[in-house]
Amino acid sequence: MSEKVLLLARRRCLACDDVQDVLEPPDTDAIGPECRSCRAPTERIEVLASRLVAKNRHAAELGRLGGLKGGPARAKALTAQRRREIARHAVQTRWKRTR
């Protein structure tokens, strides 16, 4: 099992002054990752918390196995009418979204 420590840090964009809370490795520079909205560099204002994130390799493999089986099994179980309803809903949602 591999363990990885991440920091929950508050960062401010140097260009647009947007404030974001992000998870980052402890060795990330104080001025570094880009802003999510304008892509300018950000500065770390404060560290809110330190988190230990553990990944179990075996659990990840089991989840992937279920994911590989689940989609095709669901598609096989759906009726043609229900597939059309799902597709229609997806298209309407996509076209409502503003860019």
DSSP state of 97: S
Prediction pTM value: 0.50
Range of the structural domain that residue 30 is part of: 2-55
d(C-alpha 32, C-alpha 73), whole Å: 44
Cβ contacts of 31 within 8 Å, gap of 6 or more: 14, 41, 42, 43, 44
Residues 30 and 7 grouped into a single domain: yes
Residues 23 and 40 grouped into a single domain: yes
Residue 2 is predicted with a pLDDT of 55
**Whether 25 contacts 50, CB under 8 Å:** no
Residues 83 and 65 grouped into a single domain: yes
Residues 73 and 38 grouped into a single domain: no
pLDDT tens sequence for the chain (99 residues): 456 788 899 999 999 999 999 988 889 999 988 998 899 999 999 999 888 777 788 888 888 887 788 888 888 999 999 999 999 999 999 998 766
